């Protein structure tokens, strides 16, 4: 459990203007609005403009989070970007964002890859670094350009994903009862092949043949991932509630990873917590991976669904398979 001494000071998010509807997708792959809606709950997703990079989306979300926190670039000494679609394999997108936001050169900047659980991992990491007393204000960003790694000819995956970014600013809390109360992270590393990008890494550097075979696109065994996702998210949620001696009905709002409405409904049933205690925007954005929770968190706050004193549960899973939960008292 992390020290309860860090708090979210501001949130921000960004989604590209371009909306890609299910109806449009059904003109390019063998699918239908009905199939996508009933199997996933997704109606539309956002797609980054040509030339719009993961860092550009992250910068927009970060600017809004800074403004919300009433802080400036000069106040930030730590940036963690959760992403698996960085602008470049290296250097990290966090370095590019540092330059674009004009952050101090004394800021530590790095990316963290835990796929769709990335934001929860990054939040935990940043909070631990701030709790250490060696950093004061962190920008934790989840940003993804999934349109760049999706095979637009593969109907089993391309209908599910979208682009976007979310960010939070965190800092030390004067009140030990507020902020990040704790996290529960985990990994099922024997399931790497269920959800991965097989080509382009050091194991299989890109070649003309690997590119022709589409090895640089995301591959997923959806049904298997679905079952593990429900199990892992349920476990992560139950464990953290138990650790903190809380009942599910004490959570005012759950912000789950937005991958599939049916997964969220299953968690709602397992926790015996009604769906009106779950924030859902998967219908409008699809799965934006590491961006999904901070984007949802920001929308929930700005739409008045989070108030001072509320207790929120974040819960996610993703490739790895990684999974995790976090408890936040506002």
Residue placing its CB nearer to ligand UT7 in the complex, 9 or 143: 143
- The catalytic residue among 116, 137, 260, 312 is 116
**Rounded Cα distance, 301 and 320, in Å:** 30
Choose, by CB under 6 A, the member of 5, 11, 13, 40 that binds ligand UT7.
40
Active-site residue flag, 287: yes
- Least distance between ligand UT7 and beta carbon 275 (Å): 17
- Least distance between ligand UT7 and beta carbon 25 (Å): 8
- Least distance between ligand UT7 and beta carbon 128 (Å): 24
Of 276-295, which residues contact ligand UT7 (CB under 6 A)? Answer: 287
93 binds ligand UT7 (CB under 6 A): no
* H, E, C per residue of 41-78: CCCEEEECCCCCCHHHHHHHHHHHHHHHHCCCHHHCCE
Active-site residue flag, 196: no
Residue placing its CB nearer to ligand UT7 in the complex, 121 or 135: 121
Instruction: Give 326's Cβ-side CA count (13 Å radius).
Output: 33
- Least distance between ligand UT7 and beta carbon 188 (Å): 13
45 binds ligand UT7 (CB under 6 A): no
Residue placing its CB nearer to ligand UT7 in the complex, 133 or 189: 189
Choose, by CB under 6 A, the member of 19, 100, 226, 277 that binds ligand UT7.
226
- Nearest one of 294, 287, 299 to 326, comparing CA atoms: 294
Nearest residue (beta carbon) to ligand UT7: 222
Q: Specify the stretch interacting with ligand UT7 by CB under 6 A; choose among 8-16, 64-72, 181-189, 219-227.
A: 219-227
156 binds ligand UT7 (CB under 6 A): yes
Active-site residue flag, 312: no
Q: Binding-site residue total for ligand UT7 (CB under 6 A)?
A: 18
Of 227-286, which residues contact ligand UT7 (CB under 6 A)? Answer: 229, 259-260
225 binds ligand UT7 (CB under 6 A): yes
CB 30 within 8 A of CB 155: yes
The β-bridge partners of 142 are 82, 166
Choose, by CB under 6 A, the member of 134, 136, 153, 223 that binds ligand UT7.
223
Three-state DSSP at 103 gives coil
- Nearest one of 282, 294, 316, 263 to 117, comparing CA atoms: 316
**Rounded Cα distance, 161 and 150, in Å:** 8
Number of neighbours of residue 309 by Cβ within 10 angstroms: 10
Choose, by CB under 6 A, the member of 18, 39, 63, 277 that binds ligand UT7.
39
- The catalytic residue among 109, 113, 158, 257 is 257
Q: Is 41 left (phi over 0), alpha (psi -120 to 50) or beta?
A: left
Q: Specify the stretch interacting with ligand UT7 by CB under 6 A; choose among 79-87, 136-144, 152-160, 298-306.
A: 152-160
Choose, by CB under 6 A, the member of 222, 235, 238, 311 that binds ligand UT7.
222
**Rounded Cα distance, 193 and 182, in Å:** 30
DSSP state letters, 255-312:
EE--S-HHHHHHHHHHHT--GGGB---HHHH-B-GGGHHHHHHHHHHHTT---TT-EE
**Rounded Cα distance, 60 and 34, in Å:** 33
**What tokens appear for 297 in the block?**
């968190």
**Rounded Cα distance, 187 and 85, in Å:** 20
**Rounded Cα distance, 316 and 330, in Å:** 20
Of 12-31, which residues contact ligand UT7 (CB under 6 A)? Answer: 31
The site for ligand UT7 (CB under 6 A) is made up of 31, 35, 39-40, 116, 155-156, 159, 220, 222-223, 225-226, 229, 259-260, 287, 318
Give the catalytic positions in this structure.
Answer: 116, 257, 287
């Amino acid at each position: 459990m992390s020290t309860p001494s860090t708090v979210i000071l501001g949130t921000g998010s960004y989604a590209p203007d371009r909306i890609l509807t299910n109806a449009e997708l059904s003109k390019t792959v063998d699918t239908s609005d009905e199939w996508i809606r009933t199997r996933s709950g997704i109606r539309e997703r956002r797609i980054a403009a040509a030339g719009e990079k993961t860092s550009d989306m992250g910068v927009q979300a970060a600017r809004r989070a800074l403004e919300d926190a009433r802080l400036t670039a000069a106040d930030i000494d730590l940036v963690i970007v959760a992403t698996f679609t960085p602008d470049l394999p290296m250097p990290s997108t966090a370095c590019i964002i540092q330059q674009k936001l004009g952050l101090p050169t004394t800021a530590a900047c790095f990316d963290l890859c835990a796929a769709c659980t990335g934001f929860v991992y990054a939040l935990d990491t940043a909070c631990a670094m701030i709790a250490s007393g060696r950093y004061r204000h962190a920008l934790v960003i989840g940003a993804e350009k999934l349109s760049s790694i999706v095979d637009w000819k593969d109907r089993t995956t391309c209908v599910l994903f979208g682009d976007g970014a979310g960010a939070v600013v965190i800092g030390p809390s004067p009140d030990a009862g507020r902020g990040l109360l704790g996290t529960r992270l985990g990994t099922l590393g024997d399931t790497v092949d269920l959800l991965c990008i097989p080509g382009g890494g050091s194991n299989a550097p890109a070649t003309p043949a690997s590119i022709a075979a589409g090895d640089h696109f995301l591959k997923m065994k959806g049904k298997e991932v679905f079952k593990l996702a429900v199990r892992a998210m349920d476990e992560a949620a139950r464990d953290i509630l138990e650790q903190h001696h809380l009942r599910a009905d004490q959570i005012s709002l759950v912000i789950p990873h937005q991958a599939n409405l049916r997964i969220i409904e299953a968690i709602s049933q397992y926790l015996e917590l009604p769906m009106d205690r779950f924030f859902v925007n998967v219908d409008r954005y699809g799965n934006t991976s590491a961006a999904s929770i901070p984007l949802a968190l920001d929308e929930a706050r700005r739409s008045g669904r989070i108030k001072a004193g509320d207790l929120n549960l974040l819960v996610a899973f993703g490739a790895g398979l990684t999974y995790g939960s976090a408890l936040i008292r506002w």
